[in-house]
Structures are given as C-alpha cells and as structure tokens.
Structure 1
Amino acid sequence: MDKWEQIAAQAWQAILSKVQAMKAEGKTLQQIADTVGAKNRSLIGEWLNGNREAINAPFPNLMGYLENLGIDYRDIFPRTDKMDRADESAVIRRVAPHAPNEVVQGDGLPQIPVMGGTGAGDDVELFQATPSYWISVLPQYMVHKDIFGLVVYGDSMEPTIHKGAVVGVIPFDGSFNEGGIYLVQRPPFGRTIKRVKLQSGQLVLISDNAAYEPDPLPFEGYEKIILGRVVWVWQMV
C-alpha cells in the first residue's frame, strides 16, 4: 500500500467511525446519508454492513464526506507525509510530568505499528486489525513486546497530547496507576484516551483540556473497560 492509499484508508476509517456513531445514536440511514452527503441511504447501509467502502470513492466525494462530517482533512493528510520524515523531524517523550522531548533519529531504529486511531474528546471507533503504517522510535521506548501506536483524534488531552499525535499503548495488565493516561472502551461509541483518577471511591475519566467535563467510569468491571496504558507520545515538530 503506497502513501496515497494509506491516506485514503485513514480518511475512510474516520468517515466510517462517524457513521457508526450516528447509527448508534439512533439516526436513520436517510438522516445519515443527508449528513454525509451520500447519494442515497442504501449506500450508508452497505458501508455499515461492510459490503462497500468509501476508500475507492472519487477524491471530491471523499473530501466532501470529510467536510460534511466535520472532519478536518489536515488531521489525516499530514500523517503519511510525516512518515517519510520520521527519523528527521519526529520527537518522542514519555507522558510523565516534565518529560523531555527526544528527537527520533539514528540508523536501524525499532519500528512499531500504528493500528488506526482513537478519540481524545469524542469517542472514536478506529482500531484496525492490520497496521496503517509503521513509525520509528528510540530503543528505550520499546517498553513492551506488544506495544502499538494509535493516532489521536480530538483535543481533550491537549496540551499533553496534541491532536494528530501518535501515542504508544501497552496492553492493560490489571494494575491501575492513579492519574495515568489510559485507552478506554466507551460503549457503544468507541475508544478514547483519558486520565483515570479515583474520586470519592469512583473511577473518573479526566481530560487535560479544561473545556471537557469529567466522566465517571463504572467501577464494576473497569478492567474490561480499560484496554491499555499510554506510555509515550510521538509527534512531528
């Protein structure tokens, strides 16, 4: 898959996540089609059933779908371009307070897969079975054999994690670190990343962006809701 195919695939995943969310909210196929700007509701049904994808739609149609759904194309297009310059202009840092940025450069660096995206604000269902692409990281950031990257959609974790950054996620091992940043499943809408804190005997999802309200998390069964822990942030400068 070349970089333009990867961009189209990322655009399609962003579109599909919005369509799935609208369906989960109870909107009809016709309402979704009107919002998306699709020619008819049967097309939306084919998207949801997995029988058809917008990835092969004409470029103007694809861009129109993104615009109509409120998705900024700049959150999608730069990522694959940045891939080609990862060793020259990417920085990586841990999510601990005051952690320094380290430039990602050098020969023979480890590669990790970027497995789609996740929300940071609105929940987003973007979690692929195969990598969208691979990024280089410094050896000391290969902290787990199953570590993977996710692109962040949304601004609720700014300024700690900017929209469009890639976060490194390791599988949740059942241990909870107060105030840590986690990948959380929020049915029926999808996955998001938030700080998880204990307040008055209840787990609460906290955004670093003060514009977002705290979100209580059911304590019972939280180990099935928390999917992974964010350990570092990778982004272009």
Structure 2
Amino acid sequence: MPMIARWVRDAIKSAGISGAELARRMNQRGFSVDRAAINKMMLEHATTKTKPRKVTAAELIAISEITNYPLPLEQQIGDRIKFAREAAGLTQEQLAAAIGSEGQQSSISEIERGRVQRPQKLYEIALATNTSMEWLLGDPNHSRQLRPLPGHRSLIQSFDPDTPDEQDGEFHPDTHGGVSTDRIYKPDVPGASPVIDTRAGAGPGSIGLPAIAPSGGVIYSEDAVIGEILLPGYLQQEISRAPAGRMHWVRVRGDSMEPTLQGGDHVAVDTTDTALGQGGMFVARNGDGEIIVKRLYRIPKSDPPQIEVRSDNATLEPPRVVDADWLTVIGRVVAKIGRIG
C-alpha cells in the first residue's frame, strides 16, 4: 500500500495536475472518484480519522494513462499476474476457468502469492488477461497492451479493433454497436452507469439480444442502452467499489422475487463480481437466452458443477437445480431503486 500511495503521488506531480483534476478525468472514463478518494489513495498510513484507500488495478491503469506516468513495475511474476487479472475484471475462479483449470482457483492463488516461480499455462494467462507473456515475465520493454478478445468481431458486427476506444478497454454503443459487461462502459454523462433494457426476468420473460463473449461476459446491442444513471461519488462508493462504468442498472419484471424486489424496480449490478462464493442475489443469462435475477448458490462437490436457483417468492417459483454451464453470471445485485408503497 505505501508503494502504491507514493506512486499515485508521484504520477500526479509528474503530470502537474491536482487531485481534483485527476478525479475529474477519471470520472470521464467511467470511474466514480472524488478529490477525497484521490487523497486517500495517496495516504501511506492510516490516521485517527482517515484510512488509506485501496487502488484497484483498473484505477492504476487509468491513472497511468491520464498522467502518462509508467505503471509500477512489480518484481514478482505473481504480483504481475494478480495485477493483470484484476485489471481484466476476473476473479481467481474465472481466470482458472479461462485457462482450462476450472475448479482450481487455489492454483491461481498460489501463483499470485509467489509460491510458484514458473507457473504453467503462462500463454493462456496472458491471453485471458489481454496482456503479453513478456509483460508478465517482467520485461520492461513490453508495456501492458489491451488486445481485443478472440471472437469479439463475430459477436458485434460493427466492432472495429483499430478504433481508439478499444485500446482503452472501453465499448461505446455509438462506435462499437454494443456494451460489454466485462469492459468499462464509456458514458455520455461523465461518471454515469448505463441503464440496460435486458427485460431482466424476476418472472417469465425472455430477450434474444445478449450474446456471450469468449471472456465469459455478456454483450448487449446498442439498442439495449436506454439511459444512464449518475450517482454522487460518495454514494457510488458505498454501493460498490467497482467503477461506475462496470455497474449496470437493469429493470426487474415479474413478481417471483417479491417482497425483496417488485416489478419495475431497477437493480444495480456489479459486473466485476461474478463469483458465487457463499451465494447471493445475481443477474444472469440462462441457457434459453433469458436475463434473470435470482439467488444463486453453488452445490458443493457436485459433478458436473451445479447451481441452485432460488426465488424469494417460493410459493410462485420453487427452488431448482441447474447445471452451472446453463447460467452465465453477469454480476451481483448490490442496490435497488424502486417505488415506496
């Protein structure tokens, strides 16, 4: 933490800008930070009133690009793999699955802790995190370059890998024809989150628009973005540590999640949090192409892996068990907006 705090301070000083100006430019990129958050990023040690703020890998990359200051070069390969994984918005479990080691997230943890000096499948890790083997190995002549994930062009017909936005890891509905759940959304209103018309089913209903990306995320057509929601920075941070561009708002339809959710409510979905862990409420795409909001729980030791799908209104829709590959988790539900009464 102290090293990162010093790096943030040096980056701002090198660029000759203020913390408030850095916050403004980060908000333009879809992050939700204010001057106070930047000050906490530069805090090396906790005080009686303030604690240092953890800086995510995505935020570090944004600060580096804004200030034109080189990223801190981690000496250990495990540190660099963790950095690349977090910047790609992947959990250890998701990275393990992406490299063909599903269910072995403990091996990723061992690598990141520095207990494996020569990790296997380094090429697959580089591919999954959109970086290069040379960068992961610590070659200073190779910067971390975001590359288009294989197959994106077939999923979004108007996607052009040579456009500037792709190099920033962003999708804009006007330029790329779609919005991805595993990349930062570029808003029209700086710092806003997209409102997606997924027709999220808290009851019967379907939509054929979303396609599954090779990275495991979901891509919506540009027509699915029906608006944007801008929250004050402090409220955004209370809801989720994810940048605003990785939080999507979707509308709930149906009554199977009553009384927790009513039809017409809008739920905030943290697309950086797709690991079921101990379970909870998630938005997911099922095998029929429906976008649903349900409580999901992984069945321990199931082979093949299975997930229990629960509705809060159990009298209307009893729990059921499905194969894990029948669901694509879009993100965890972290907040809602709805009518009172």
TM-score tier, shorter chain, comes to 0.3 to 0.5
Q: TM-score, normalised by structure 1?
A: 0.47
TM-score, L = length of structure 2: 0.34
The answer to which structure has the higher strand fraction is 1
